[in-house]
Amino acid sequence: MINRRLFAALALTALVATACGTDDAEDTAVRPDGTVDLSQVTLRLGDQKGTGLQALLESAGELRDVPYKIEWSQYTAGPPMLEAINSGSVDFGGVGNSPPVFAAAAKSEIKIVGGYRAGTAGQAILVPKDSPLRAPTDLKGKRIAVTKGSSAHHHLLTVLSKNGLSFDDIEAQYLQPADALAALSTGRVDAWAIWDPYTAQGEAQTGARILVDGNGYINGDAFFVAGSEALESKSRTAAIRDLLGRAQRAHAWADQHPEQWAQTWGQLTGLPTDVTLVAAKRDPYQDHPLDPATIDAEQQVADAFADAGLIPKKVNIPDFVDTRFNDLFPTAS
C-alpha cells in the first residue's frame, strides 16, 4: 500500500512538472492538434524610444495584418527593458550588446534569440563643439555621461582600455539619454558616450562633435531578447518567430528606404526628421544568426565588464542564448 501511494505521488509530481515545463496546459492558443491559433496570442513587446522597433515595423508596413495582438511598452534604454522581460511583464525586445551581459550577471530569466549588426559610426563619444578634448587619451580625469549597462557603456570601456586608460581614470556619470544631453549642453559633463539617434541629436541640437566613434572598437552587434517564460509558451514562441521574420524584413526595407524610415522614426519618437535621417543613413542593418563567432564576441563583451569590475563576476553567455530561430537568418558574410 505504501509503495502504491508513493508511486502515485511520484506520477502526479511528474505530471505537474511536465505541464509546467511545456506551459501547454494553460496555453489556450494551442489547439488540440498541437497547432497554434495566433489570433488568441498577445505578445508584449518592449521598445526603446531611440532604437524604435515599433517605428521600424510600422514604417516598413510590417505591423499590417499581424495575426496576433501586440502590447507595446516604452523604455529609455535596454537595461530597464530587460528588467521587465526578466519579471515576465514583457516578452521580447531589442537591445545593444551590453544589456544582456548585465542581465546575465543578475541571473535574469532572459535569452538572446536573434542578432543583427546595427553599426559602429553612430556609436560615439561626443564632446562640446568648443571642447579642448581632441583624442581618446584626453578623456583621462574627465566627467563622462553614459547609461549604465548600455552599448555605450561597453564602447566607452573599450575606448579607454585600448588607449591605456581604465574606468578608474574617468568620472563616470550614469545618466539616461535625455539627462545626459542636458548635462553635456550645460557643461556639467565633459563628454557623453551614446548611440544613434541620440548621437545625431547631440550633433544637431548642441553642435557637439564626435571625439571617437565605434569603428575599430566594437563590432556593432545588437540583439533581440526574449523572456524564458515566453519561450516556454508554444503560442508565444510561434508569435516571436513570426515577429523576428518581420523585423528582418523591416531592416532590409529601412536600408533601402532611409528617407521614409527616418520620417516615421521621427514621428513616433518625437525627434526631428533631420536627426533621424542622419542616423538612418549612417549605419545600415545586417541581420545574422547567432553563430559561434557572434556568441564568442558577446562573451568578450561580458569578460571585459567582469575584468573591469563593472559586473560582480564572470558570466557564461552561451547559457543565455537560444539558437532555435537561427534558420530565419542569413549566414553572416
For 70-117, the pLDDT digits (tens) are: 999 999 889 999 999 999 999 999 999 999 999 999 999 999 999 999
Give pLDDT, residue 270.
Answer: 86
DSSP assignment string, 263-302: HHHHHHH---HHHHHHHHHHS--EEE---HHHHHHHHHHH
What number is the average pLDDT over the span 288-307?
96
Q: Binning pLDDT at 50, 70 and 90, where does residue 264 land?
A: confident
Indicate whether 20 pLDDT > 90: no
Q: Binning pLDDT at 50, 70 and 90, where does residue 323 land?
A: very high
Tell me if 50 sits within 8 A of 251, measured CB to CB.
no
Q: What is the pLDDT of residues 202-211, one digit of tens each?
A: 999 999 999 9
The C-alpha atoms of residue 113 and residue 105 are separated, in whole angstroms, by 18
Give pLDDT, residue 23.
Answer: 47
More confidently predicted of 26 and 98: 98
What number is the average pLDDT over the span 23-36?
76
Fold of 12-119+220-328: D-Maltodextrin-Binding Protein; domain 2 (3.40.190)
Sheet holding 92-95, edge to edge: 69-75, 42-48, 92-95, 221-227, 110-117, 286-288
Indicate whether 54 pLDDT > 50: yes
Q: What is the DSSP letter of 106?
A: T
More confidently predicted of 269 and 13: 269
Residue 330 dihedral angles phi and psi, to the nearest 5°:
-70, 155
In CATH, what is the architecture of 124-213? Answer: 3-Layer(aba) Sandwich (3.40)
- Hey, how many other C-beta atoms are within 10 angstroms of the C-beta on 166? 12
Give pLDDT, residue 331.
Answer: 65
- Hey, how many other C-beta atoms are within 10 angstroms of the C-beta on 240? 27
The 3-state DSSP class for residue 333 equals: coil
Indicate whether 24 pLDDT > 80: no
The C-alpha atoms of residue 308 and residue 166 are separated, in whole angstroms, by 8
Which residues is 221 bridged to in the sheet? 117
Q: What is the pTM of this model?
A: 0.87
- Do domains 12-119+220-328 and 124-213 share one topology? The answer is yes
What number is the average pLDDT over the span 326-333?
74
Sheet holding 191-194, edge to edge: 171-174, 143-146, 191-194, 124-127, 209-213
Q: What is the pLDDT of residues 120-151, one digit of tens each?
A: 999 999 999 999 999 999 999 999 999 999 99
Q: In the structure grid, which three cell numbers stand for residue 160, read together?
A: 579607454
- Helix, strand, coil percent values for the chain (each to nearest 5): 50, 20, 35
Domain ranges of the chain: 12-119+220-328, 124-213
Classify each residue of 100-135 as buried b or exposed e, where b means 16 or more C-beta atoms within 10 Å of its C-beta.
bbbbbbbebbbbbbbbbbbbbbbbbbbbbeebebee
Task: Return mean pLDDT, the chain.
Answer: 90
Number of C-alpha atoms within 13 angstroms, CB side, residue 276?
25
The C-alpha atoms of residue 93 and residue 191 are separated, in whole angstroms, by 28
The C-alpha atoms of residue 320 and residue 59 are separated, in whole angstroms, by 31
Q: What is the pLDDT of residues 174-225, one digit of tens each?
A: 999 999 999 999 999 999 999 999 999 999 999 999 999 999 999 999 999 9
